[in-house]
């Protein structure tokens, strides 16, 4: 124990010398704080490190001499030595010192707690100011800052002094003081702890001074404040106080600024110092390790014996013929230069290499060589290793040799009697019973078979059903549709030609009555389309070939003014596409119209086929429904909405809506590049706002307007009413 204390003190002294000469005058105060604490811990731990060195020693076989053996033991006959009281005295002195220093520590701690409880306190942010009536200088314990009450109330304490104490509280300097005080209780006899406690307290002041100066305080003014507050007044040992005897050293360190290079170089110098201390002051233990003596038995190599099993109970052992009677004597003549213990480690017996041997023969060989000694026996289908306690396979053929057991015979007779009672032509026997009867019958010997029930005759099992190949369904075309009227291709072309011609004439009249340039351009474009189709039809009718003419735009349906308005939104549609299909208008077998319904409520809600959307996502939803029609091949991917109305949009406006909202609604629908086939609203002004047209102008060509009060009004009716108003 004394040696450990001396080694620990020596390590701590070296660390303190390094601190005094290399670190104390530097400005790395945070690094120095941790260095001083860790140096104490390392100094305590280094003596307990033990390096073990193993030394190989040759074994000594010298027999002790008779003189040494018979040497009398004089120590046993000596009188009892006097008892040594030195350890008791030393431990008593140590205990007294621990008690004294513990009393001092708890006394100081009690004084601080008593001051906190009995004096007024004011909380300032994270800190608590304890105001005392004594004329003391400011000091700190954790978050408690002790100040003179009179000076604090009269604001005679400078803010720099308060900031200095707040730094002590914020950085928890009291923890370092408590740590070193507890160590002093345990190692009160070590004077180095007293000196290192001074260094720790001084470094705390360095840290507080650095924080005050970094806050923008003038260095000279701060030094004058320190001189003014310095006094010899006593303070508690557990608290950090602004007064300190080494104030001159503090002034010197305030002006010092150490470069990072110097700090790093001195920090790195600690590594070799630490290595030297660990190696020098740690314990070194030498352990003698005796070298193992060479055992001549361990140098034997593996040996083998070949055993060949012949017929009629004869064998060959390493080429020597033998029988069951002479097997043991023959094998005992082999390898007599080694003991049975060595044979149990190196002898391998190989039986009938690559040939199957019965389990009875393996058991005979195994029992014959147990006393002789062997490491393992190897056969074609098994390996017996003696050190693992393996044994040969159990003999399973004993039942066949001795016949079935009485229990098996009883089981067989019960089953056989049961099925033998049944008529041969109506006998039904389970497959598992058939297998069981055959197995039991095979176990019987000849005498048992003669005395047992005869094996029942059972019909052979039915043949397995042949595998039927799956026949792929034939691709049979559907029967032709039975229409009321059937027309030839030529007749269809002729009717189409007449229809387009009639529409062409109507278009000429509409072109004459059009007033705006935009309408004229639209009519001219449609007229050009009709002319191209008529020319192609004329050529086709002359040749008589199949028609490759695209379908013309479908005419507007004739709407009776007395017909009530249609409801656009069906109840509970299964899907968007199914809902749209419910509103399809079938014009002919070859063409079918499809619609996407858009419902606009008075509160601004928009529904696309019962799916609620907003104005920003309206066009995206319509395009999504349109893509469903493209995926189902209802319309082509390059569907041209200007010339074909196979898929279009129906708009229904319910209640009052603003004109600008309707204009924006139309713009969103146009983004989908689909035709607006019809509009239903409560008033004509709403439709005019939707179309972004002034009252009295002609609406678009391909739109049908629907009013709730006046039912459905065609495009021609609106045009006539417009002319009447102007006249």
pLDDT tens track for 98-143: 999 999 999 999 999 999 999 998 888 889 999 998 877 888 998 9
Neighbours of 656 (CB within 10 A): 9
Residues 96 and 205 in one domain: yes
Cα 225 to chain centroid, rounded: 60
Q: pLDDT band at 393, cuts 50/70/90?
A: confident
| Vertex 712: Cα angle to 707 and 713 (nearest 5) | 95
Determine contact, residues 351/377, Cβ cutoff 8 Å. yes
Classify residue 164 by its DSSP letter. H
Residue 568 lies in a domain: no
d(CA 43, CA 277): 9
Return all residues near 115 (Cβ < 8 A) that are at least 6 apart: 130, 132, 146
d(CA 237, CA 234): 9
d(CA 401, CA 443): 9
| Vertex 664: Cα angle to 661 and 670 (nearest 5) | 145
pLDDT, mean of residues 32-51:
92
Q: pLDDT band at 240, cuts 50/70/90?
A: low
d(CA 628, CA 182): 83
Residue 465 lies in a domain: no
Ranking 48-57, 475-484, 489-498 by mean pLDDT, the lowest is 475-484
d(CA 129, CA 148): 10
Of residues 170 and 286, more confidently modeled: 170
Largest CA distance in the chain: 159
Residue 634 lies in a domain: yes
pLDDT in tens, 93-103: 999 999 999 99
d(CA 206, CA 95): 36
pLDDT, mean of residues 16-42:
92
Roughly what angle, to the nearest 10 degrees, separates helices 247-254 and 192-214? 50
Return all residues near 37 (Cβ < 8 A) that are at least 6 apart: 176, 179, 200
Residues 114 and 246 in one domain: yes
Residue 183 lies in a domain: yes
Determine contact, residues 371/347, Cβ cutoff 8 Å. no
pLDDT in tens, 246-272: 788 888 888 888 888 888 998 898 999
d(CA 286, CA 171): 47
Residues 210 and 120 in one domain: yes
pLDDT in tens, 374-384: 999 988 888 89
Ranking 32-36, 93-97, 322-326, 420-424 by mean pLDDT, the lowest is 420-424
d(CA 206, CA 200): 10
> How far is residue 671 from each of residues 121, 643, 664, 692, measured CA to CA in Å?
75, 17, 11, 16
d(CA 458, CA 481): 62
pLDDT given for residue 483 in this prediction: 45
Q: Is 546 helix (H, G, I), strand (E, B) or coil?
A: coil
Determine contact, residues 134/148, Cβ cutoff 8 Å. yes
Residues 306 and 278 in one domain: no
Mean pLDDT of all residues belonging to the chain: 76
d(CA 594, CA 480): 24
**pLDDT of 286 higher than 60:** yes
Q: Look up residue 274 and give its two tokens.
A: 């630490």
Instruction: Quote the percentage of the chain above a pLDDT of 90.
Output: 22
Nearest residue to 424 via CA among 394, 466, 459? 459
Q: Look up residue 384 and give its two tokens.
A: 């017996």
Nearest residue to 142 via CA among 118, 120, 119, 109? 109
Determine contact, residues 369/349, Cβ cutoff 8 Å. yes
Residue 142 lies in a domain: yes
User: Which residue reads 């062409």 in tokens?
Assistant: 504
Q: Is the pTM of this model over 0.85?
A: no
pLDDT, mean of residues 465-469:
57
d(CA 688, CA 698): 10
Last residue of a domain, one of 375, 396, 417: 396
Spatial strand order in the sheet of 320-323? 320-323, 314-317, 303-309, 347-351, 376-378, 383-385
pLDDT given for residue 496 in this prediction: 77
Contacts within 8 Å (CB) and 24+ apart, 132-135: 135/233
Q: pLDDT band at 241, cuts 50/70/90?
A: low
Residues 418 and 372 in one domain: no
Phi, psi (5° rounding) for residue 146?
-95, 120
pLDDT, mean of residues 571-576:
40
Residues 116 and 243 in one domain: yes
Determine contact, residues 231/167, Cβ cutoff 8 Å. no
Ranking 73-87, 463-477, 608-622, 652-666 by mean pLDDT, the lowest is 463-477
pLDDT in tens, 414-458: 988 888 888 877 788 888 888 888 888 888 888 888 888 888 887
| Vertex 267: Cα angle to 261 and 268 (nearest 5) | 90
Residues 119 and 191 in one domain: yes
Phi, psi (5° rounding) for residue 42?
-65, -40
Residue 107 lies in a domain: yes
Q: Look up residue 544 and give its two tokens.
A: 């008589």
**pLDDT of 180 higher than 90:** yes
pLDDT given for residue 469 in this prediction: 52
pLDDT in tens, 53-73: 877 766 555 444 444 444 444
Helices (H), 337-405: 340-346, 359-368, 398-402
What is the DSSP annotation of 465-505?
PPPPPPPPPP-PPPPPP--S----HHHHHHHHHHHHHHHHH
pLDDT, mean of residues 184-213:
92
Q: pLDDT band at 713, cuts 50/70/90?
A: very low
pLDDT given for residue 228 in this prediction: 78
Q: Look up residue 672 and give its two tokens.
A: 């989908």
- The domain tally of the chain equals 6
Neighbours of 498 (CB within 10 A): 11
d(CA 140, CA 120): 16
Residues 57 and 107 in one domain: no
CB environment 420-440: b (16+ within 10 A), e (fewer): eeeeeeeeebeeeeeeebeeb
Determine contact, residues 648/639, Cβ cutoff 8 Å. no
Residues 435 and 500 in one domain: no
Residues 714 and 579 in one domain: yes
Instruction: Report which listed range, 49-58, 321-330, 643-652, is most confident.
Output: 321-330
pLDDT given for residue 12 in this prediction: 93
Q: pLDDT band at 677, cuts 50/70/90?
A: confident
Q: pLDDT band at 603, cuts 50/70/90?
A: confident
Ranking 90-99, 189-198, 243-252 by mean pLDDT, the lowest is 243-252
pLDDT in tens, 679-695: 888 777 777 777 765 44
> How far is residue 263 from each of residues 109, 209, 257, 578, measured CA to CA in Å?
37, 20, 11, 82
pLDDT given for residue 568 in this prediction: 38
Ranking 86-100, 391-405, 550-564, 680-694 by mean pLDDT, the lowest is 550-564
Residues 582 and 711 in one domain: yes
Instruction: Quote the percentage of the chain above a pLDDT of 70.
Output: 73
Q: Look up residue 194 and give its two tokens.
A: 């007293």
Residue 475 lies in a domain: no
Of residues 386 and 701, more confidently modeled: 386
Nearest residue to 653 via CA among 585, 605, 595, 614? 605
Residues 229 and 150 in one domain: yes
Domain that holds residue 7: 1-72+257-287
Residue 98 lies in a domain: yes
pLDDT, mean of residues 17-43:
92
């Amino acid at each position: 124990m004394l040696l450990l204390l001396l080694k620990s003190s020596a390590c701590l002294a070296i660390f303190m010398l390094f601190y005094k000469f290399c670190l104390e005058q530097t400005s790395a105060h945070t690094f120095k704080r941790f260095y001083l604490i860790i140096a104490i811990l390392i100094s305590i731990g280094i003596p307990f490190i033990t390096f073990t060195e193993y030394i190989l020693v040759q074994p000594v076989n010298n027999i002790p001499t008779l003189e040494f053996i018979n040497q009398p033991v004089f120590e046993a006959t000596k009188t009892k030595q006097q008892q040594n009281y030195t350890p008791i005295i030393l431990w008593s002195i140590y205990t007294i010192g621990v008690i004294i220093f513990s009393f001092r520590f708890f006394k100081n701690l009690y004084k601080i707690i008593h001051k906190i409880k009995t004096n007024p306190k004011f909380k300032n942010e994270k800190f608590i100011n304890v105001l005392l009536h004594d004329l003391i200088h400011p000091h700190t314990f954790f978050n408690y800052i002790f100040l003179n009450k009179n000076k604090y109330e009269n604001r005679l304490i400078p803010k720099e002094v308060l900031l200095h104490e707040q730094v002590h509280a914020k950085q928890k300097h009291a923890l370092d003081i408590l740590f070193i005080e507890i160590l002093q209780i345990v190692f009160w006899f070590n004077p180095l702890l007293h000196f290192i406690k001074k260094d720790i307290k001084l470094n705390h002041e360095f840290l507080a001074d650095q924080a005050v100066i970094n806050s923008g305080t003038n260095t000279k003014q701060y030094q004058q404040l320190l001189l003014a507050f310095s006094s010899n007044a006593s303070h508690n040992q557990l608290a950090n106080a602004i007064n300190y005897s080494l104030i001159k050293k503090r002034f010197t360190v305030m002006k010092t600024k150490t470069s990072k290079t110097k700090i790093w170089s001195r920090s790195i110098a600690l590594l070799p110092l630490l290595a030297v201390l660990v190696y020098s002051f740690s314990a070194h233990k030498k352990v003698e390790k005796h070298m193992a003596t060479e055992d001549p038995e361990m140098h034997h190599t593996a040996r083998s014996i070949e055993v060949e099993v012949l017929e009629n109970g004869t064998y060959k052992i390493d080429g020597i013929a033998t029988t069951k009677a002479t097997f043991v004597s023959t094998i005992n003549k082999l390898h007599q230069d080694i003991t049975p213990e060595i044979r149990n480690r190196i002898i391998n017996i190989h039986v009938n290499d690559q040939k199957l041997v019965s389990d009875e023969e393996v058991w005979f060989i195994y029992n014959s060589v147990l006393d002789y000694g062997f490491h393992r026996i190897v056969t074609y289908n098994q390996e017996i290793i003696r050190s693992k306690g393996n044994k040969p396979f159990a003999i399973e053929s004993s039942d066949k040799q001795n016949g079935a057991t009485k229990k098996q015979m009883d089981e067989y007779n019960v089953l056989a009697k049961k099925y033998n009672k049944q008529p041969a032509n109506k006998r039904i026997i389970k497959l598992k019973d058939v297998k069981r009867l055959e197995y039991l019958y095979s176990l019987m010997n000849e005498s048992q078979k003669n005395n047992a029930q005869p094996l029942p005759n059972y019909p052979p099992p039915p043949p397995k059903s042949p595998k039927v190949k799956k026949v792929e369904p034939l691709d049979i075309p559907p029967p032709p549709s039975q229409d009321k009227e059937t027309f030839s291709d030529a007749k269809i072309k002729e009717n189409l030609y007449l229809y387009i011609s009639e529409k062409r004439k109507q278009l000429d009249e509409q072109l004459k009555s059009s007033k705006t340039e935009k309408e004229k351009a639209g009519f001219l474009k449609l007229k050009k389309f009709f002319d191209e189709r008529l020319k192609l039809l004329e050529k086709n009718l002359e040749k008589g070939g199949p028609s490759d003419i695209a379908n013309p735009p479908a005419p507007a349906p004739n709407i009776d003014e007395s017909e009530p308005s249609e409801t656009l939104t069906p109840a509970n549609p299964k899907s968007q596409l199914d809902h749209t299909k419910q509103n399809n208008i079938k014009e002919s077998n070859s063409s079918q119209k499809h619609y996407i319904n858009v419902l606009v409520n008075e509160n601004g809600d928009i529904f696309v086929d019962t799916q609620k959307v907003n104005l920003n996502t309206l066009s995206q939803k319509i395009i999504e429904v349109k893509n469903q029609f493209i995926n189902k091949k209802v319309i082509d991917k390059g569907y041209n909405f200007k010339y074909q109305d196979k898929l279009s949009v129906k708009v229904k406006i319910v209640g009052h809506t603003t004109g600008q909202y309707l204009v924006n609604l139309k713009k969103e629908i146009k983004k989908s590049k689909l035709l607006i086939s019809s509009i239903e609203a409560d008033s004509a002004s709403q439709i005019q706002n939707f179309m972004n047209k002034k009252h009295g102008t002609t609406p678009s060509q391909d739109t049908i307007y629907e009013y709730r009060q006046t039912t459905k009004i065609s495009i021609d009716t609106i045009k006539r009413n417009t002319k009447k108003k102007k006249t």
